[in-house]
Structure 1
């Protein structure tokens, strides 16, 4: 391959803006995306023929969503676009793809990973009942299927998405019975200084909260011990506030405790990782421009660290400029510096969000032994603690080997955060000290028949 073969994984805000920069420089990247249409999660587009307007779908962000969609539509003739295609492995400068039931291999010289994020799942009693969703899944239902998850809905957990989704659902006509936030008002107040570094974003969040209050939506902050009950499906949700238990009838619950970066492809591509105190997660190393530790592999957007859609667009442009520079092309140094300064300022705001919406520190200590942590393999918290107490396990991959946690269909994408919290709490070590689950192909579920037709993949210890 004498000419650069550039592949962008993900057509969300970061991937679209990266493609825009590369096309403007005369290159023709390949853009691979799991979704049917570009936009990512935050600007997810509904199927053709959907009747709700972008203003109804995206609210304040409708102009940004429309701009991103229009940009991508203009790029379609200048890129090789592979929608509805899963990248399930990366090995030897080659990607393994599954698109519409067909397997193919795609070699590259340069790889841009814009893989986005997933909900941080912390199990609670009743979380496996029908009618319990993640916040992200509930948002997908609204945007992509044009429906809500129930007739009387409770949103529980923490993070900015909690209030955004409550606002979006209420605006769509859903009955929001309550918003239960594990973060306290005092913690949010303490984070005000950092949050003021992006006053517009802060103002939007305050507007969502005020709108919910004005429209009679019950908002409870500082809740503990969330539990869902029901015989065959969700019937009630309970929580503790100031030492008192409260119960509410509902038929659907959406929960989430912040977001986690999707890092599996970066791992398989050979990127070095380091623990991020800000994200409370192991993340691939990258410089300010988005270059990873592997030559020719770049990271942009929430897949390299949670920062939001605005930052993802900027990071996509910045990483594309770095790629062009590495190809020996002339770039606008002034733009690079402006992007660096803006992204640095956004990191200050991100620190404020973590202070305002922290992961519940008491969760791992209070999680009951019988609670299922890994739903694929039906591994309980008690089994994880047993591996610590009776086998002396102090490392995540050793825990996986002994208990099979993270060996199921999700490959640890859903359960690893909770399992890590249990292990850290049980050993008295930090999340950084217990390590991380190594990435394994396929990074997401795929049909057995497609896997059998695929080329062999390397074994990873």
Structure 2
């Protein structure tokens, strides 16, 4: 049975496999690895397992399940399997580093080390294998007024619904592109929310680009789900083909201004929910040193992995949306493949057993991915909304505008990292999660090259805030003690001779 761990002091010094993230990919990887006898730790920042897609599903009422839809309710089955698995589970845990084990403290067997904070204590944990299942982030949606009160992301609104049962009480407007926007609209309508408009910013030409993939979509499970969403949408005003958006108000959002062709519309409301798709959450994978590429179809960076999730860093695998947006079902199968491969690498199963199970999972994964090409082409957000005008804030943490970034780009900066040094864009608490893609695409546009040629922010641990108390309490290596002691001795000598 699953073992809950509430304090870093209770963590074992090493595990066969450490998995980061308790969404469909992480949960499935933990179940698969434990089924083959591996000692598994699953670390997750949330209070309970499930990730974003299955957030708080174990505690949801029947009314909540009906409102959120059958895909959400299906998460209970996966969580029941996870609760029965022989794994250690650390909730509210922050993993802030992944890398090679310290040569002085490592046992020579466990090649990887993670920095984990839990219960106010930080500890280094060694592992044979690490599976990163950190999921996705909402793509930045920088429009005029997006930082004012009364404007939120669709994902944030969905988190409030799932975790606390909170829904908007006033006139709600949804704007943007992507399946989640339409899913949330249907969930809000079923909850009795006054959704007065759903404004679609999907480029009209996307329909033509998606047509070659329509047969695969029609044969997938996504087709029926999409039809059901459209039926619910008939209860809300739909505005398609919006080419410009602006949130306006006097200290609080009150009106959405939009352009549609030559027409300008004003929609009054109390809450604006923005969304234009999701992108891989790269911060931990990049801090671990994993190679990444620019995916033009996703219009985002993703980590480079093979079919079983192996990254460029030995022993580190990536599963689910963290390596490319694939959806919940495919994420679960990718997690199983990563857990299975760890069992093979650690000699818990033979090659024959591995190949039989791998082929089975590969077939399931292929079925789950059917229809994704259509979705990626159909809902690819327009560059107009990905790269804003000069007066729009790009970096919310440091309040850096697109115009300031363009000024720096004109100086000939070599890439996003030099831009960050000049402007502090990406140095705030979010560490580039809310501005990284926008900054990279903006600079690439100014330079007339693809974002992949310039790269992304260079990320180093700790990728999440760690208190001084936690750092001070970390076990110290002999090399670290000598380094600090040597510095103290040199400082004392300089004082004596000055």
TM over 0.5: yes
Structure 2 residue runs of 5 or longer lacking an equivalent are 1-11, 101-111, 481-498
Q: Which residue in the other structure is 1:41 paired with?
A: 52
> Following TM superposition, by how much is the alpha carbon of 1:145 offset from its aligned partner in structure 2, in angstroms?
1.2
Q: Which of the numbers 17, 25, 33 marks the counterpart of 2:36?
A: 25
Structure 1 portions without partners, runs of 5+: none
| Cα distance between partner residues in 1 of 2:28 and 2:253 | 41
Q: Using the TM superposition, name which of 98-107 and 438-447 deviates more.
A: 438-447
On the 8 A contact 2:329/2:368 being kept in 1, the answer is no
1:351 deviates by 2.2
Pick from 445, 448, 457 the counterpart of residue 437 of structure 1: 457
After superposition, the C-alpha distances for 1:139-166 in whole angstroms (9 at most, x for unaligned) are 1011001112441111111111010111
- Residue 5 of structure 2 corresponds to none
Residue 53 of structure 2 contacts residue 72 of structure 2 at CA under 8 Å; is this kept in 1?
no
Residues 1:252 and 1:185: Cα distance change in structure 2 (over 3 Å): same
Residue of structure 2 equivalent to 1:362: 384
In structure 1, distance between residues paired with 2:13 and 2:95:
24
Residue 267 of structure 1 pairs with residue 267 of structure 2: no
Cα distance in structure 2, aligned partners of 1:23 and 1:132: 43
Residue 338 of structure 2 is aligned with which of 319, 332, 343?
319
Indicate conservation of the 8 Å contact 1:54/1:66, yes or no: no
Displacement after TM superposition at 1:374 (Å): 0.4
- Is residue 2:96 matched to residue 1:74? no
Mapped partners of 2:338, 2:178: distance in 1: 27
- TM-superposition CA deviations, 1:325-373 (whole Å, max 9, x none): 21222234233123224434555522211210112122366x2322111
Q: d(CA) in 2 for partners of 1:429 and 1:150?
A: 45
Normalising by structure 2, we get a TM-score of 0.85
Higher CA-based Rg:
2
From 128, 137, 151, give the equivalent of 2:147. 128
Partner of 1:378: 399
Specify the alignment match of 1:89 in structure 2: 97
Say if 1:374 and 1:405, in contact at 8 Å, map to a contact too. Answer: yes
Aligned equivalents of 1:224, 1:337: Cα separation in 2: 45
Partner Cα distance (1:355, 1:170) in 2? 27
C-alpha distance in 2 between matches for 1:3 and 1:371: 47
- Aligned equivalents of 1:32 and 1:91: distance in 2? 16
After TM superposition, give the deviation of residue 2 of structure 1 in Å: 12
1:103 is aligned to: 122
**Number of equivalences:** 451
CA contact (8 A) 1:151 1:175 kept: yes
Structure 1 Cα separation of the partners of residues 281 and 272 of structure 2: 24
Q: Distance in 2 between matches of 1:410 and 1:455?
A: 27
1:174-203 residue CA offsets vs partner (Å, 9 max, x unmatched):
111111111145523642442542422122
Q: Is the deviation greater in 187-196 or in 138-147?
A: 187-196
- TM-aligned CA distance change 1:277 to 1:163, over 3 Å: same
Q: CA deviation at 1:248?
A: 0.7
Partner Cα separation in structure 2 for residue 62 and residue 120 of structure 1: 22
Distance 1:204 1:353, change over 3 A: same
Retained in 1: the 8 A contact 2:289–2:313? Answer: yes
1:392 aligned residue:
412
Identify the residue that residue 447 of structure 2 maps to in structure 1. Answer: 427
| SS across alignment from 2:258 | strand
Alignment counterpart, residue 353 of structure 1, candidates 346, 370, 375? 375
Structure 1 residues 250 and 454: CA distance shift in structure 2, 3 A: farther
**1:247 corresponds to:** 266
Query: How does the TM-score come out when normalised to structure 1?
Result: 0.91
Written as runs of structure 1 = structure 2, the 5 A alignment for 1:296-307 is: 296-307=315-326
Deviations 1:420-461 (A, max 9, x none): 221122221111122111123332345565456557999xxx
Go from structure 1 to structure 2 and tell me whether the alpha carbon gap of 1:446 and 1:4 turns closer, same or farther (over 3 Å shift).
closer
Aligned counterparts of 2:474 and 2:399: Cα–Cα separation in 1: 29
Residue 204 (str. 1) matches residue 225 (str. 2): yes
Aligned to 1:5: 16
The alignment partner of 2:216 has SS state of coil
Q: Map of 1:136-215 to 2, 5 A cutoff?
A: 136-184=155-203, 187-188=206-207, 190-198=209-217, 199-213=220-234, 215=235
Cα deviation per residue 1:292-316 (whole Å; 9 max; x = unaligned)?
Answer: 1122111110011111101101111
Q: 1:150 to 1:431 in 2, by over 3 A?
A: farther
Match of 2:70 among 51, 54, 60: 60
Q: Tell me, yes or no, if the aligned pair for 2:57 and 2:73 is still in contact at 8 Å.
A: no
Alignment check: 8 A CA contact 1:184 1:221 kept: no
Q: Secondary structure at the match of 1:91?
A: strand
The offset of 1:208, in angstroms, is: 0.2
Q: CA deviation at 1:281?
A: 2.4
Change (3 A) 1:100 1:180: farther
